[in-house]
Amino acid sequence: SQTIHQWPATLVQPVGSPLSLECTVEGTSNPNLYWYRQAAGRGLQLLFYSVGIGQISSEVPQNLSASRPQDRQFILSSKKLLLSDSGFYLCAWRGGPGEQFFGPGTRLTVL
């Protein structure tokens, strides 16, 4: 069966520091992968999605970036974090039409 992993589970970083969040999927090949951010009291905002290695689409302008170095690995990065980057970051992969399966999430606090 397919599983999706995210790490770290929680992270506290100072403003201006770099960021790297990792997502890996097991049990499927060539999945569509997604990064979402969930701010407190708000719904999920799609940040990036990828249909294959090296193929990244950005949904909103921001100081974050994403990369897909391997088929089942999706990385979210930043060179310099802002306070507004705090939130709950979720990785997901596409299952059936319109259906996505989510990882456990990473809670990022920027101080």
Binding footprint of another protein on the chain (CB under 8 A):
4, 32, 41-46, 49, 51, 88, 90, 92, 94, 97-105, 107
- 16/84 with CB nearer another protein: 84
| Smallest gap from residue 79 Cβ to another protein (A) | 27
DSSP 46-59: EEEEEEETTEEEES
- 34/85 with CB nearer another protein: 34
The rounded distance, in Å, linking the Cα atoms of 91 and 75 is 9
Task: Give me the helices (H) in 1-111, please.
Answer: none
The rounded distance, in Å, linking the Cα atoms of 97 and 67 is 24
| Smallest gap from residue 97 Cβ to another protein (A) | 4
| Smallest gap from residue 80 Cβ to another protein (A) | 26
Q: Which amino acid is at 85?
A: D
- 62/100 with CB nearer another protein: 100
Nearest C-alpha neighbor of 49 from the set 39, 59, 38:
59
